[in-house]
Each structure stands twice: as structure tokens, then as C-alpha cells.
Amino acid sequence: MNRRHAAIAFVVLAGLGGFTVQAQAGRSCQAAKLSPSLVTRGMDLALRTAQALDASGARVVLLARAGQDLSKYGLRWSHLGIAYKTGEGPWRVVHKLNQCGTAVAAVYRQGLGEFFLDDLWRYQAAWAVPTPAVQAQLLALLEEQSPARITRLHTAPYSIVSYAWGQTYQQSNQWVTETLAAAMEPEIVRTRAQAQAWLQFKGYEPTALRLSPLTRLGGRLTAANVAFDDHPGDKRFSDRIETVTVDSVFAWLPRAGLGAAPVVLPPLANVAF
């Protein structure tokens, strides 16, 4: 780690939540040794993201990373979290992570450093800035001392392709959208079904993945965190798997008047680590 990264390590990594379990969301679950190169690249991405977010003037953003190559599905981003800044403190990210090798997940609060500290598919970040009114509602939820409200709509059973309008499982991006709904209508949205009704009212449209029976069978047999039984039969057997993706959320926010189009932080080019 060079002097530039050492100087900002405390700032970027401040606020890490003691995250020790092996977990993943929108990135590979294969165990990978964190080499100095990976640490440096992740730290640099965290630093540049923090600087750009500070310059934006936003207090809350929906922050995405590219942990897996999803280009064959026409998708650019794999995982979404809610990033926020309180006062002069560091940026923190609240997001849902699946425990590797299992079908369960939990919600974590981390610093930007840990959010990007992995062998990512692409060292690039993107975020959407919600409107001031949406930021205020989300910040009120995120700053509460008790974690009970931020996890009120959390469902532990996890499937990476959970049905967007189902309640059997809940994947990471789905938790973000449903939590956004709860923040916007705290007196009305108290269940996942109510959150999904609000999202439908606001015009959210999930991504429809075209997955063949063979692909579905292979995924179900080889990964504990893949399930299709929550999808309606008419959709599933026509190879239409509707799930919440980062790309669909980014497209929906401006359409619904809830936020701006996403900002993409360019990847580093011609830099040796």
C-alpha cells in the first residue's frame, strides 16, 4: 500500500461493522486470498468513490458494484446498497449479504473500504442520487440507533433470483427497494407485500431473465442460494424469471421521479498496482 492509500485508510475504513463471516452478494462466493494488489485496488476504488460522493453534495445514494460478469444477461451491475453520510463522518453502506454456501442472508453496515474489498469483476462503481425528499426519508431510517426498523422487512431465506413480487425469499437488491418503500411510507408500509404494492404503484418493473429449464436445474442443483420455486408457474415454465436487478432500479428511479440517472465512476486505466 503506497503513501496515498495509507493516508486515507482510516477515513475510508472507519465504521466497519466487525464483519467476519464469509458472505457475498453480487460477487463470486469462491474463497480468494486478499493479495496486496486486491487490497490496493479496492482501497483506491473506495477512496475515489468517497471523494466523488463528497463532491456530489448528497447525503444518501444507492451505491452499486460490479462483483460478477452479468453481461450475458444484458446487466452491468450486480449488487446494490444504501450509502449514507452523517455529518463529517465517513460514508457507510447498509446492504444485505448472503452467507456463502447457504440459503440465508443478513443485513450489514460497513465502510466503503469493505464494500469494495474483494476480487471484483470490474473495479468500477455507480450510484444514483435520490431526490432531497427521498434522501431525508432514508436518512431518518438509517440514523436510528435501533437496527430493528432498518431490518424490519428483511427476510433471511435467500435466493439470488428471488421473485420480485414474492415473499418466500429475498435477495440483496430486493431488500433495498423494499426498504426504500418502507422509508417513504413508514405509516403504511409495514410488510413486504405492502412494500411491493407501493413499488408497483410507483411503476417499478423487474428484470425478466430468460433462463432455460436446463440452466434453472443446473443452478438449483449446484448452488444453495438459487431457487425458482417462488416464481409463478406460468412465468417459470415460459423461461421468464422476474427478479430485482441494479440496472432495473437505476432505470426506475428517474422514471418514478425518485432520483437522478446513475453516475458511473470510471475505472482506473494504465495504473500498475
Q: In the chain, where are the structural domains located?
A: 3-20+34-265
CA-derived radius of gyration, the chain: 18
pLDDT given for residue 28 in this prediction: 44
| pLDDT tens digits along 226-250 | 999 999 999 888 889 999 999 999 9
The dihedral built from the CA positions of residue 119, 121, 124 and 125, taken in this order, carries a sign that is negative
Please state the rounded mean pLDDT for residues 25-44: 71
Stretch 61-80: mean pLDDT, rounded? Answer: 95
pLDDT of residue 221: 46
Q: Quick one: pLDDT band at residue 13, thresholds 50, 70, 90?
A: very low
Answer whether 64's CB lies under 8 Å from 80's CB.
yes
Percent of all residues in the chain with a pLDDT value above 70, rounded to a whole number: 81
Helix 172-184, helix 132-142: angle, nearest 10: 100
Query: What does pLDDT average to over the chain?
Result: 85
Q: What is the pLDDT of residue 36?
A: 83
Query: What is the pLDDT, as a whole number, of residue 199?
Result: 98
**Higher-confidence position of 21 and 22:** 22
- Kindly indicate the confidence band of residue 218, based on its pLDDT and cuts at 50, 70 and 90: low
Please count the other Cβ atoms lying within 10 Å of the Cβ belonging to residue 213.
Answer: 11
pLDDT tens-digit profile of 104-121?
999 999 999 999 987 788
Tell me what the mean pLDDT of segment 126-146 comes to: 93
**φ and ψ at residue 94, rounded to 5 degrees:** -105, 125
Nearest to 112 by CA among 8, 230, 249: 8
DSSP strands (E only) in the chain: 23-24, 60-66, 79-85, 91-99, 105-111, 122-128, 207-210, 240-243, 263-265
Percent of residues, the chain, with pLDDT higher than 90? 67
pLDDT of residue 186: 94
pLDDT value of position 21: 33
Decide which of 95 and 32 is more confident.
Answer: 95
Average pLDDT of the segment spanning 13-26: 39
Assigned fold of 3-20+34-265: endopeptidase fold (from Nostoc punctiforme) (3.90.1720)
pLDDT of 97 strictly over 80: yes
- pLDDT at res. 216: 64
Q: What is the arithmetic mean of pLDDT over 84-99?
A: 93
pLDDT (average), residues 173-188: 97
Angle value at C-alpha 91, between 188 and 1, nearest 5 degrees: 150
Q: How confident is the model at residue 167 (pLDDT cuts 50, 70, 90)?
A: very high
Nearest one of 73, 70, 81, 54 to 120, comparing CA atoms: 70
